[in-house]
């Protein structure tokens, strides 16, 4: 049973293996959150002005619609077996996948997609739909990697990338809720490294108190976590402070994790920040991208 008015968990469905994994993940999220599940399939290409051979009696739009409905019904049946009757809805949207899922994500708790869909290019780590959704979705987006990216048994922990500046609240809220729902620990990773400045600082040798710098960074992380520990006393928190690029540190910490959580600040230029982009491309576990306000990440 779910409470009336509970926002749904949304999953993108296109018949691919990646989408099947996304649906399985979304079903588990809906169960943990006691939320309804919405399965969305977008037609692979526009059905209007589609080049049909002359004199052809093939109803191309109808065929596409029927195929999408068949895939959705099968996915919904499996989801209802796990969640119960009345918990799963599905819809076919004639817009492109990004617009369809972005619209479905308005008011949703999260959207789940595979890294590459049915039209994905072999060898490409991250498809255009997943990238575009992570860029400006109205809610958190969870991207599932290719199932051969990392084969791990006994996954545990939720990993959160913590910057130590405004925006961490949204990332930590999502990460703590996930850890609490899954009954696992939270690994808070704070990486510090000024790539541009560090070479010049290294030339100063003993004049730089690196131990002191590390202690300051550790204190920054502890302060960011302080209130969240009080709100989630049952969640074990492990702190990781490392002198490394943020993406590399988060990916390493997330190798055996259930989930990695990072933030993304919308930019004037329509592209992901370097850290979020790198984590999405390299992580071997599902990655949740939480929309933030402010500058790039």
pLDDT of residue 120: 44
Q: Tokens at residue 206, please?
A: 């003993």
CATH code 3.40.50.620 region(s) in the chain = 9-144
CATH code 3.40.50.12370 region(s) in the chain = 158-292
pLDDT of residue 123: 40
pLDDT of residue 126: 57
Helices (H), 9-147: 17-33, 60-83, 97-105, 128-136
Q: Evaluate whether the domain defined by 158-292 bears CATH number 3.90.550.10.
A: no
Among 33, 268, 2, which residue's Cα sits nearest to residue 139? 33
Q: Tokens at residue 255, please?
A: 């190798």
Element (H, E) at 219: helix 210-231
| pTM as predicted | 0.86
Q: Specify the 3-state DSSP secondary structure of 82.
A: helix
9-144 to CATH, choices 2.40.50.110, 3.40.50.1580, 3.10.20.740, 3.40.50.620: 3.40.50.620
Element (H, E) at 292: strand 287-292
**pLDDT tens digits in sequence order for the chain, 297 residues long:** 555 689 999 999 998 899 999 999 999 999 999 999 999 999 855 444 455 565 567 677 787 788 889 999 999 999 999 999 999 999 999 899 999 999 999 999 999 999 865 544 344 345 788 889 998 899 999 999 987 778 899 999 999 999 988 889 999 999 999 999 999 999 999 998 755 555 555 555 556 676 888 899 999 999 999 999 999 999 999 999 999 999 999 999 999 999 999 998 876 545 667 889 899 999 999 999 999 875 555
């Amino acid at each position: 049973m779910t409470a009336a008015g509970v926002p749904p968990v949304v999953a993108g469905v296109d018949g691919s293996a990646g989408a099947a994994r996304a649906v399985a993940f979304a079903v588990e999220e809906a169960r943990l959150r006691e939320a309804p599940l919405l399965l969305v399939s977008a037609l692979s290409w526009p059905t209007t002005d589609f080049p049909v051979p002359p004199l052809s009696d093939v109803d191309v739009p109808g065929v596409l619609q029927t195929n999408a409905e068949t895939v959705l019904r099968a996915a919904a049946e499996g989801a209802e077996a796990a969640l119960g009757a009345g918990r799963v809805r599905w819809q076919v949207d004639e817009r492109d996948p990004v617009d369809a899922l972005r619209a479905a994500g308005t008011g949703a708790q999260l959207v789940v997609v595979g890294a590459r869909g049915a039209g994905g290019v072999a060898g490409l780590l991250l498809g255009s739909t997943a990238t575009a959704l992570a860029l400006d979705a109205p809610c958190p987006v969870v991207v599932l990697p290719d199932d051969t990216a990392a084969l791990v048994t006994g996954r545990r922990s939720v990993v959160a990338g913590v910057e130590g500046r405004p925006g961490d609240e949204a990332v930590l809220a999502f990460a703590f809720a996930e850890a609490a729902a899954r009954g696992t620990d939270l690994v808070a990773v704070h990486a510090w490294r000024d790539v541009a400045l560090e070479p010049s600082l290294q030339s100063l040798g003993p004049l730089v108190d690196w131990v002191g710098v590390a202690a300051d960074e550790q204190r920054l992380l502890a302060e960011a976590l302080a209130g969240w520990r009080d709100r989630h006393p049952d969640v074990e928190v492990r702190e990781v402070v490392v002198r490394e690029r943020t993406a590399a540190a988060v990916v390493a910490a997330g190798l055996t994790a259930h989930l990695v959580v990072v933030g993304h600040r919308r930019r004037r230029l329509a592209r992901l920040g370097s850290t979020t982009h790198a984590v999405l491309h390299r992580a071997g576990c599902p990655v949740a991208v939480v929309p933030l306000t402010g500058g790039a990440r």
